Amino acid sequence: MRKSVLLPLLLFSLVAVLAVLIPTANAFAESRTRGLVLARQGATEHLARAARAAIEDGSFEFLQQQLDRHAEVYGEPSLVVDADGTTIATTGVLQPDRADVLAVVGASADTLPRWNITTITPWGPAHALVAEPVLGGIDQSVGTVVLEARLDRAQRDVAVAWGVSSAAAAALLTGLALIALRWTNSVLRPVRALDEASRAFPPRHDVARFAHSGPPELRSLADSFDQMAAGVERALAQQRSFVADASHQLRNPLAAIRLRLDALSLGTHTDDDLHRIDEDTERLEHIVDRMLTLAGVEHRVISAATGTETAVPKVRVIPSAEGLVMPHVPLHTACGQTLTASGGPVTVECALSDLEEMVELGLDNARKYAGEGAHVRVALQAAGEWVDLTISDDGPGLNDADLAHAQSRFWRGNGSDRTAAPQSGTGLGLAILTGLARANGGTLALAHAAAGGLELRIRLRSGAETA
């Protein structure tokens, strides 16, 4: 991916630099060529005026002096011929019978200057012939001034200028390449970190969080990956813990069933063994059903923590305490308990099915452990942005040590301060209740009730403002 990002940037930088370098180099070469042409035009026009005077006067000494002076200044050979092609003055090694000299002399007979100097380049010709006609009184050519212009100095100037421009362009391109490389590394740093984290995640599951950098889109991607990784870590941790707890809890009923089946096969069973096998099977089925319920609730808790939509819709309900507990009154009456409700109606942001199940779990816990003759109270009360659903009893309650562990999976009290047998439940009720509260954005807190028993305080978000 680094090449895919860096190569287009380098190519764009190269094109941009060349787009500036080439016109600049051409402009300098053309400017240097114009300067040379203008200088030689001035020199040939001066020599043409001297040649006209010499032809008219018949004296060529001054003309020869001017040619020598030109050769001294510019180091260029030159000659002057009259209308008949006869050389009347010359300097240097320029021969009048050269084919190229004869060609420019013949071409200048139409009284127009002949200039063969093209744009100067370092690899171009080192000399160029130029011809200037000598005009008489009626604008007729009475002779021709020919000189061989030296281009080597101008070529050196162009070469130096092009070299400096190329060096500047190379430095600029290097700077742009370094900037592009640094920018690419900055952009791809979170991508590489995400790649390393993704590769390290499967075997270790403990990927360290990294500092986010780069564009906002990649920082958002990194945040999403962190959330995903945290969710997966929590899910894997819960999965391992769940499997370990489930294995431990299922071992006892399975072992009991196996022992009784062995007794049946050996013929040493009692008449009560079949009945006990049926009870153990029902208990095992109940534990498995509770485990499936807890697994679904914990999945919803993880989904809520990572911002993932869950399959259970959040609806706003306006329950009253009496309406919530009415289906449970006969069950408590059969257990010798009194069930009362107060408060409401209130509005909460919670799935109605979840709210009803939380009430059922809380009341089921009270039926099992509050004891006969207990008074169970259910109260609904709005508290600002929250709604408190409280289920309390005046039974034996829990001590402080048990309160700290009562919401753990498969936890059961030791029976010292509860009236029911320690193994009468699955140990999953309060864990499921805690998960349902968290899945709906709420909490569950256990405390000592004012009447002396256990108090379950379920706190859910109020929907009064948005209802």
Identify the bridge partners of residue 383 per DSSP, sorted by sequence position.
386
Q: Are the C-beta atoms of 344 and 369 separated by less than 8 Å?
A: no
Distance of CA 124 to the CA centre of its chain: 53
pLDDT recorded at residue 155: 92
Spatial CA neighbour of 283 closest among 424, 128, 398, 406: 424
Measured CA to CA, the distance from residue 246 to residue 348 in angstroms comes to 34
Instruction: Give the percent of the chain with pLDDT over 90.
Output: 16
CATH superfamily, domain 2-158, is PAS domain (3.30.450.20)
pLDDT recorded at residue 467: 43
pLDDT recorded at residue 419: 45
The token pair that represents 87 in the structure block: 């050389």
Q: Are the C-beta atoms of 127 and 147 separated by less than 8 Å?
A: no
pLDDT recorded at residue 35: 92
Q: Are the C-beta atoms of 436 and 357 separated by less than 8 Å?
A: yes
What stretch(es) of the chain map to CATH 3.30.450.20?
2-158
What stretch(es) of the chain map to CATH 1.10.287?
216-306
Q: In what order do the strands lie in the sheet with 375-383?
A: 338-343, 375-383, 386-393, 454-461, 443-448
pLDDT recorded at residue 318: 65
Phi then psi for 111, rounded to 5 degrees?
A: 70, 20
At how many degrees (to 10) do helices 273-306 and 429-439 cross? Answer: 20
pLDDT recorded at residue 423: 45
Query: pTM of whole model > 0.75?
Result: no
What stretch(es) of the chain map to CATH 3.30.565.10?
316-461
Q: Does domain 216-306 have CATH number 3.40.50?
A: no
pLDDT recorded at residue 416: 41
pLDDT recorded at residue 162: 92
pLDDT recorded at residue 91: 92
Whether the CA torsion 55, 56, 58, 62 is positive or negative: it is negative
Whether the CA torsion 120, 122, 125, 131 is positive or negative: it is positive
Q: Which residues of the chain have pLDDT under 50?
A: 415-423, 466-467
pLDDT recorded at residue 80: 92
Q: Does domain 316-461 have CATH number 3.30.565.10?
A: yes
Q: Are the C-beta atoms of 149 and 76 separated by less than 8 Å?
A: yes
Q: Are the C-beta atoms of 145 and 78 separated by less than 8 Å?
A: yes
